[in-house]
Each structure stands twice: as C-alpha cells, then as structure tokens.
Chain A
C-alpha cells in the first residue's frame, strides 16, 4: 500500500485542524481556569464570567469543537478520496 501525495496532504490537514481545535480547547479550559479570579470581576447576565465559563460557556465550546471537527473531516475525506461508502 503506497500513500499518494494527496494522502499525505490529507493527514497534514488533519493534524493542523486537530492542533488548532486543541489550542481552543486548552484556552477555554486551562487559561480560563488560571485567570479565574480576575475574570470573576466581569459580569454577564448576573454570572461572574469565570463561573459562567466553567458551568456552561466552555461546555458549549466543547460541543461546538467536536461538531465542527466531524463536519470538516467529512469534507476532507471526500476531497482526498478516503471517504467510506454510504450505508455499508
């Protein structure tokens, strides 16, 4: 089994996408947690920002990250001819 250039591009695209999404994940999780005390000064609709992020905001972003990844990877699969047949 020989990998073509398109296959290699596909994998690099995947690595880039994964890395970007993990950076977002890292920021909303750990950077937010690190600066939770100053962030608590900001209020949105009654919540201190750090409480809102930890209780709801970051969760919504996690769901969005996974959804975006699934959509984007389907596109990549088709573009590089590594998609699976529908309804196996």
Chain B
C-alpha cells in the first residue's frame, strides 16, 4: 500500500466510505421493512448490535498490522478530511451523544457552557498545538515533553498525567457501552460491558491506531446519521421546516411564552404548594430528631394496623407494608433520608427554569457566581480539549503539517454538526413536553410517555400529585438521558430509528473508548517500556508489548467499570481540569518560548496539577469522603469541576518564573524549537519517530 500515492489513496477511501454509507442505509431500510412485516423490537436491537460490532471487527481485521509506525500513528497517511471524522468520533463520547441534549433540557442556558467549551477548545488546538506537534512527528504526547525538556522526569510526569485523565474518561465510556447494550437488547449490564469490550479490543488490538482510525470514520458516519434523523423529524412536526438548527428560534420564543404561562398557572401553583408543604414537613421531622424517629415509625406502623383492621384493599395494605419495611433503621439513616426528601421536594416547589435566561439567581451575588461558573466551565473544557492526549495524538497521523492544520478544521466541523444540533433538540423536546404532555389527561397520555415510564422511573415519572386527572409541569420528573433516547418515539418514528439511535450511542462510546485505551497502552509501551526501560527492543517486541498492555489496561478498565463508581459525569469534567492544568502550559510554552527550561516545566506541571487537585479534594464532597480531607471555602464560589481555572494560570506563571532563574536550555533544544516552528527547513534536523 505504501507505493500508492496519497491522492489515489484519498480517492480510494472516498469510494470505500461512500459504498459503506450506502450499504448501511440499505441495512437500515431492510430492518424497517422487517419491522413492517412483524419483526420485534428486541430482534431489531440485536441486529443493530451484532451488525455494527461485526462491521467494526471486520475493519479491525482488514487493518491488522505489526509495523511500529502503522500501529502507533496509522502510517501517517490519514488525509485531513478522514482524520477530521475520526477525531470527531474519538471526541464525541456517550456523554456528548446521549447526555448533552438532556443536560441542555435540564439546565437551559447554563448547559451551553459545555457546547462552547467543547468546540472552542479546537481553536487552541489549531493555533497553538496541532501543526507543531505534527512537525515534531513522534508517537505520543510525553514524547514531545521528553524531547523538548530533556530527561525522563518530564516524560514520566507526562505519562502519569496522561494515564490519570484518560483512565477516568475510559471508565465512563465503558459504562456507557454497558448501559446501551443492556437497554436495547435486554442483556445484563455486566454482559453488555464485555460484549462492548470485545468490540473495542478487536479493533485496537489487531491494528492499533490504524484500525482505530478507519473504524472511527465508520463510527462517525453512523453516529451523525443516527443523531440527525429524529431531530429533523421533530422539527418538521413543530415548525414544518426540516432544518431544526435554523428555525428553532421561533420555537424558543413560543417556549418562553409557555414558561411564563406555567409560572403563574393556578393548578401549577397548587402542585408546587404541595411540594413546599412536604419540604416543610420533612424539615420539621429532621429538627425533631432523635425523638421524631420513634414517633414517625409508630405512625407508619399504626397506619398498617389500621388498614389491616379495616380490611382495606390489598394494594393499600401492600403500600403500607412497604412503608414499614422501607423505614430507616437508625436515626442517622432517617436524617439522611429526610434530608434527601426535603431537597427533592424543595426542588420541585419552585417555578420552572427559564430556558433562555442567562445566569438566573435570586440576587446580584447569586447571578455573579452563576456567571463565574459558566465561564469557569467554558475555560476548563477549552483548555482541557487542548491538552487531552487522545485528541492531540490524532494530529500525528496526517501526512503533513498543512494537512494537520486542515484536519483540525474538519474535526471541528464534524463535531460542530452534532453540537449545534443538540441545543435545537433540547428546545424542541421541551416544547413538545410543555405543550403536548402538560395539560393532557392522565388517561390520554402519549404512547411514548407510558412506554418510558414502564422502562425506568428515573428517566420519566409522572404522578398525579393534586389528583385532578390533568398533568401539571410540576408533576413531571424527567431524567436527562431520555431526551435523545426517546426522541424517535416523541417524533412518532418507527422503532427501527430507536435502534439506529442506540447504534449511534454505541458507536460514540466505542470510538472514544478505543482512542483512550490506545493512549494509555501507548504511554506505557512506548514511553515507559521502549524509551525508559529497553531502548534496544526490536520492532516486533515493541508491538507485542504494546498489544499485551492494551489487553491488560482494557481488562482493568472493565473491572473498575463493573464496580459502578458513582458520579461519572463529574469525573469526566475533572479529567478536563486535570489535563488542562498538567499539560497545557508546558506544551504551549515549550513551542512558543525558547527560554522555557526543564526545571520550569517540571515545576509548572507539579504546581498546576497540584493546585487543581488540592482545590478538588477540598471542595468536592465525594473526594473529601475518599481522602478524608477537610472542606475549605470555595474561592470566589467556583465549583470544583472548574479547578483548572486556578491550575492553568499557576502552571504558566510557575514555568515562567522558574525558567528565568534556572539555566537556559542548550543549543539542541533551541534547534528543536525552530524545527517544530517551520513546516520545512533546508538542512533541518529530523525528529520523526521510528
């Protein structure tokens, strides 16, 4: 294949992927016909799962390789357009695909900080990193740190930081794979995890970066088609125009009107009053502890006895029995439960969120804090994007520096397609719920509402609180994930589209997991084993070690996932803050400031990451529990997820100060910096990895 010129290669790829897209659409149409002829949803789910995983496996087998540069950087032949698609799939995880629209539905304007942060970061990648890393042209991010600052200390810090952020991230992806497979096929969560893991491994294990790249392109195509179809349909339903992104402004206007109406609607006020009363009752019980523990238990027990004595209907007795059984065992447990009850009821006693209002808050101070946190999330997601190794690594795979620049353009373009659709989806789905579900009779709810209530009460739960037989907005509890998962049904599409959406979610999770696992395994095999332990290893040995480590890392990740560690979304956000604090200052200053020295970089990484971690373990409740640390007051009220907002500036200042008081880097390093700054120099040194 090496003999084939880049141009012919590009033409071939275009042909293959056009053919592939056609084939995939054909497959979906076949299943749609199958559904009309009576194929059950369960079998449609199986078909999508098996077909797509076999497809990825097929690409993996076709791209198997034992060559070092093919394994690590796909032979550096990936054209800009295709690298863009692969980066898009690498980037968009299960959280983007399934969670994003739901987050926007629940948090309105505030959620847009993720949309901006996860796209604007590519400006930093394009302007400050990608072309220079491509010119440097080795295999991993620690490679660059090692060469620029010299010595194994910086490299080791790079390896540790890369593993720290990638591992937290990959656990979230494997979790997503498990959830999707179990929901759409009825397999158990644990089995779902391992089926997905097989799909991940068969690509990366056989062909490393090369197989992962070509699979990711295929996965991007599936995920973008799956995301668009239902939204377009929903847009036609509410606006008559099939371009949701262009017209949802009018829907947003109508939604704002509807919010105003619902805020002062007497029936809504009635339900919210009930919740306010419940919150107060819970609060009274908490205040009366420990005495109230015994009296409350007596109340529950007495109710059961009374019902039994009156031979009440079985359903009522069962409910009362459940209440006795479910009563907290100790006063402490009772306190925890009642506090949760109080928080839940308080949350539902307020007026609906105004979707398009920036920084809502009860007073000036609350609004300022809300604004600071919006900016904090934007900042950390942006700088984290420009520091996550699995993304930066992708720009090693293009044929030239110019292709790397163009490739960042395509990456953001393909990511943009999904990210500018998600806010439209959130608004359309919200409008649907606010106008078609709210106000309808409980006996005449839309079919999708009943279907999803039956599946999972945490995703959708509508209870007639004030017993008037009509749905009020305050009576609806909705989980974010349902927005994307249920959109096909909300739009009134056949089940095959739901299957397609599941396949899209799976593609998003698998592709990101692939990229991350490869990053971790490569950091260990290339940076630790080859560069530090055994520099004389033969190419065959290096590939063998890389593959073995990949397997080990994958199994550890799957094991950690099966423990279901909580707060996965926070951990993903934390990974961005950590990556930003550790890598961004050292990488960018290494390119733009020749004076940045080895000790400056070491001090900068330690100080930046240190401040970031310090802030997190002293402000985030779960971490405080894990490490037994004492809480500190939040600095300017900034949330722990945005700790990078302190870490990045501290890192930059530390590198600056320490570099100036330590000796300047020697001539070789100066030459290396010049080397990466110019795409092509006469008499240039060569730093390409072999």
Contacts and interface: CB of A to CB of B under 8 A. Distances in A.
B106 interface: no
A25 B680 CA distance: 28
Contact of A87 (B6, B371, B406): B6
Q: What 3 A-B pairs have minimum CB-CB distances, sorted nearest first?
A: A46-B249, A36-B358, A54-B112
Interface in B203-256: 245, 249-253
Question: Taking each of A14, A29, A37, A70, which has the highest tally of chain B beta carbons within 10 Å of its own beta carbon?
Answer: A70
Interface of A: 1, 3, 7, 10-11, 14, 18, 21-22, 25, 29-30, 33-34, 36-37, 39-40, 44-48, 50-52, 54-56, 58-60, 62-63, 65-67, 69-70, 73-74, 77, 82-85, 87-88
Interface in B395-434: 399-402, 405-406, 408-409, 412-413, 416, 419-420, 423
Nearest to B408: A66
Given A25-B120, A47-B249, A88 B375 contact: no
B5 interface: yes
A36 B90 CA distance: 32
A28 to B, nearest CB: 8
B409 A33 contact: no
B484 interface: no
Given A58-B116, A83-B402, A65 B123 contact: yes
Question: Taking each of A3, A7, A29, A44, which has the highest tally of chain B beta carbons within 10 Å of its own beta carbon?
Answer: A29
Contact of B5 (A39, A77, A87): A87
Interface stretch (B458-466, B520-528, B633-641, B671-679): B671-679
A16 B358 CA distance: 34
A66 B678 contact: no
B416 A59 contact: yes
Interface stretch (B124-132, B180-188, B305-313): B124-132
Given A30-B378, A83-B680, A54 B116 contact: yes
A31 B358 CA distance: 14
A47 B413 CA distance: 23
A25 B679 CA distance: 25
Interface in B364-417: 367, 371, 374-375, 378-379, 382, 399-402, 405-406, 408-409, 412-413, 416
A55 B112 contact: yes
A39 B379 CA distance: 20
B127 A69 contact: yes
Question: Taking each of B5, B7, B677, B683, which has the highest tally of chain A beta carbons within 10 Å of its own beta carbon?
Answer: B677
Interface in B109-150: 109, 112-113, 115-116, 119-120, 122-123, 126-128, 131
B371 to A, nearest CB: 7
A30 to B, nearest CB: 6
Contacts of B412: 62-63, 66
Nearest to A19: B127
Given A58-B116, A84-B679, A74 B402 contact: yes
A52 B482 CA distance: 24
Given A29-B378, A46-B252, A62 B371 contact: no
Nearest to A80: B678
Contacts of B115: 54-55, 59
Given A21-B127, A51-B356, A69-B127, A77 B378 contact: no
A88 B399 CA distance: 7
A1 B681 contact: yes
Main secondary structure, interface of A, reads helix
B684 interface: yes
B276 to A, nearest CB: 28
A87 B277 CA distance: 72
A8 to B, nearest CB: 10
Given A47-B252, A58-B116, A66-B122, A82 B678 contact: yes
A48 B409 CA distance: 28
A14 B284 CA distance: 66
Nearest to A14: B677
Contact of A34 (B126, B371, B678): B371
Given A18-B127, A66-B409, 5 more contacts: A1-B675, A56-B423, A70-B406, A70-B409, A83-B402
25 contacts: A30-B379, A37-B358, A40-B356, A40-B358, A46-B250, A51-B356, A55-B115, A55-B420, A55-B423, A56-B420, A59-B115, A59-B120, A59-B419, A65-B123, A66-B122, A69-B126, A69-B405, A70-B126, A70-B402, A73-B402, A74-B405, A82-B678, A82-B680, A87-B5, A88-B6
Contacts of B379: 30
B375 A44 contact: no
Contacts of B675: 1
A37 B402 contact: no
A47 B356 contact: yes
B321 to A, nearest CB: 50
A62 B356 contact: no
Nearest to B249: A46
B556 interface: no
B685 interface: yes
Contacts of A84: 400-402, 679-680
A51 B678 contact: no
A33 B377 CA distance: 11
Contacts of B409: 63, 66-67, 70
Given A30-B375, A46-B250, A59-B115, A1 B671 contact: yes
A52 to B, nearest CB: 7
Contacts of B116: 29, 33, 54, 58-59
